[in-house]
Amino acid sequence: MGLKMNPPEEHLNRQMAGVAFPIPSGLVQALRNARHVTVLTGSGISAESGVPTFRDAQTGLWSKFKPEELATRGAFQRNPKLVWDWYAWRRELVAQAQPNAAHLALVELERRASGFTLITQNVDGLHQRAGSRDVVELHGNITRVKCFEEGLVVPTWKETDETPPRCPRCGGRLRPDVVWFGEMLPADAIDRAFAASQACNVFFSIGTSTLVHPAAALPFEALQHTAMVVEINPCSTPLTARAHYALRGTAGEVLPDLLRML
Ligand code: NAD
């Protein structure tokens, strides 16, 4: 069974009033027939919520640091306060941000699809705040913290003058529950992501540079398993030439228009 659609309307095949972005009819048809839709998102989907992507220039106090030099175990061991403070600043940015039209469109796509998997590389939790129910988080979530020594998530801890704070169980330093460069991804998340990429009929790659592995392999996995692969990104990536459709717009403009066409 394909997407649960709104009642057919005669004018669906025409350029609908209010739909600014040209949506290919082959994509609309494939979505209507799809048994399973899989979506991979990257930091670009949150750009319209005001959360900077990794490759955007960092601003203010943090402009002299490269994320790749802060988001590692080595960086934390060398200067735990610096890394904790950087994440505290990013956590604050995320707390002030609101889900945008693209996050909301994916909630609606999940509601209408008979089978749907949302995989994200983002750590901002904006998909969940928009209402997506089952999100495969490949890189963790910035709103959670865990013990640097034991790796266990710590829901509450005592505030002291020390930064970072200490784990209430073992006294180790606390760190954000995100996957740093050089660390393994959570095994259950990566297994679910590969399985959903292999099983889907339509795969969307949205707002990701397709550079950070293993997430970058997922659209190619879907291609190998004969899915239609669709990229939504204003810039080209290593996936663009291989995608069936590369929609060159922002996620916030393309996804709501795509939904209107279904
Ligand atoms: P990236 O920074 O490498 O690439 C972002 C991509 O988004 C680019 O290709 C860019 O052209 C595209 N883009 C920018 N604005 C867009 C828009 N409005 N609509 C659609 N596309 C847009 O990010 P990545 O591929 O996600 O990988 C880098 C890593 O950064 C990931 O591991 C992720 O965990 C981490 N990260 C996450 C967040 C977040 O949670 N919001 C923010 C920064 C970095």
Residue-wise pLDDT tens digits, 235-258: 999 999 999 999 999 999 999 999
For Cα atoms 10, 14, 15, give the angle at the middle one, nearest 5 degrees: 140
Q: Give residue 27's pLDDT band: very low, low, confident or very high (50, 70, 90).
A: very high
Over residues 73-87, mean pLDDT:
95
Q: Tell me which residue of 36, 71, 68, 38 sits closest to 55, measured CA to CA.
A: 68
- Give residue-wise pLDDT tens across range 10-23: 334 434 446 678 89
Per-residue pLDDT at 12: 44
- How high does pLDDT run on average in the chain? 90
Q: Is 247 exposed, middle or buried (0-12, 13-18, 19+ CB in 10 A)?
A: buried
Distance CA 90, CA 146 (A): 17
The single-letter DSSP state of residue 255 is: H
Confidence (pLDDT) at 35 = 97
Span 15-32, average pLDDT: 82
Distance between CA 20 and CA 42 in Å, rounded?
24
Whole-number CA gyration radius for the chain: 20
Tokens, residue 10? 């005669």
Residue partners of 222: CB distance under 8 A and separation at least 6: 38, 197, 198, 200, 203, 229
Q: Is 48 in the pocket of ligand 1 (CB under 6 A)?
A: yes
128 C-alpha to ligand 1 centroid (Å): 17
pTM of the full predicted structure? Answer: 0.91
Closest C-alpha to ligand 1, atom 21: 207
Q: Which of residues 89 and 110 earns the better pLDDT score?
A: 110
Question: How many other CB atoms sit within 10 Å of the CB of residue 215?
Answer: 22
Predicted confidence (pLDDT) at residue 3 exceeds the cutoff of 50: no
139 catalytic residue (yes or no): yes
**How many C-beta atoms lie closer than 10 Å to residue 98's C-beta?**
10
Q: Which of 36, 139, 213, 225 is catalytic?
A: 139
Question: pLDDT tens across 160-218, in order?
Answer: 899 999 999 999 999 999 999 999 999 999 999 999 999 999 999 999 999 999 999 99
58 lines ligand 1 (CB under 6 A): no
Contact 219, 241 (CB under 8 A): no
Does the Cβ of 49 fall within 6 Å of ligand 1? Answer: no
Note the pLDDT of residue 168.
93
Q: What percent of the chain has pLDDT over 70?
A: 90
Q: Is the pLDDT confidence value at 5 over 60? A: no
Cα of 215 from ligand 1 centre, angstroms = 12
CB 233 within 8 A of CB 40: no
For residue 193, give the H/E element and its range: helix 187-199
pLDDT at 7 over 60: no
